[in-house]
Amino acid sequence: MSAAAAGRTGAGARTPGVRLVPRWFTAVVVGALTLAVVGFLLLALTVGGVMQWSAWGLVAFAVLAWCSAVSALARPRRRREPHVTPEGVRVFVAPGMTTWPLVGGWVALLVVAGTWVHVALTDLGALESPGFALLTILGAAASLPDLVRLVTGRLHRWRLELGPEAVTYRGYRTDVSYAWSKVHGSRIQERGPAGVVIDVKGSGTDPVIPIIAFAVPAEQLLEEIDRARAAARR
């Protein structure tokens, strides 16, 4: 277990059965995205020309982000049997309603940013809100390295694989695999992010499996990891 992980053990660990995603946080995020949908919809209905098309792109972005947030934050987390491969690997995968709308919203935002770059270069005065447009363009530009990772297979849908010999976790930019002999155990972490920590032997960074990415409770992931580790030691 790394020193950073050890420092989180006291403050970050939770006893089973405690809600890791606060209701107030879910309400704030979903409420803010709802307001964004309404605001962008009103914008799309009041502007014209290329700005109207870009406003509809913002509506698509906000709606898809709303769908992903509801799936990730408001979804009831119940125990479910994972997919089991013929090799006996137990696989947990992030729900499609969490991941695909997120990707779709990202693409919509990139299209809007590209449209606004074209407008800025050809007719800067046509931009309704240059400051907001600039922030959108900068945000889209900052995400381009992740777009390269996506098309080259290095940006991952959240996935946990528990095999007879090793545990593998992929999620966003993380892609790690550890033999069970290198795993000290696992525990639930309250924040930064909330989820399940895989305690790896040695001084490396312990991967954290964010619970909002999965449809099962953290307690089930904890039990599955510990059960698979115990089975590998027999």
Q: Quick: pLDDT tens for 62-89.
A: 999 999 999 999 999 999 999 999 999 9
Please give the structure tokens belonging to residue 207.
Answer: 């991967």
| Residue 164: per-residue pLDDT | 95
Q: Is 183 exposed, middle or buried (0-12, 13-18, 19+ CB in 10 A)?
A: buried
Provide the pLDDT confidence category of residue 200 given band limits of 50, 70 and 90: very high
Instruction: Specify the amino acid at residue 59.
Output: V
Q: Is the pLDDT of residue 93 over 50?
A: yes
* Average confidence (pLDDT) over 118-143: 88
Residues 6+ apart with CB under 8 A from 223: none
Provide the pLDDT confidence category of residue 38 given band limits of 50, 70 and 90: very high
| Residue 51: per-residue pLDDT | 86
Q: Is the pLDDT of residue 187 over 90?
A: yes
Q: Is the pLDDT of residue 90 over 80?
A: yes
Please give the structure tokens belonging to residue 125.
Answer: 């005065």
Which tops the pLDDT comparison, 123 or 206? 206
Structure pTM? 0.86
How many CB atoms neighbour CB 65 within 10 A?
22
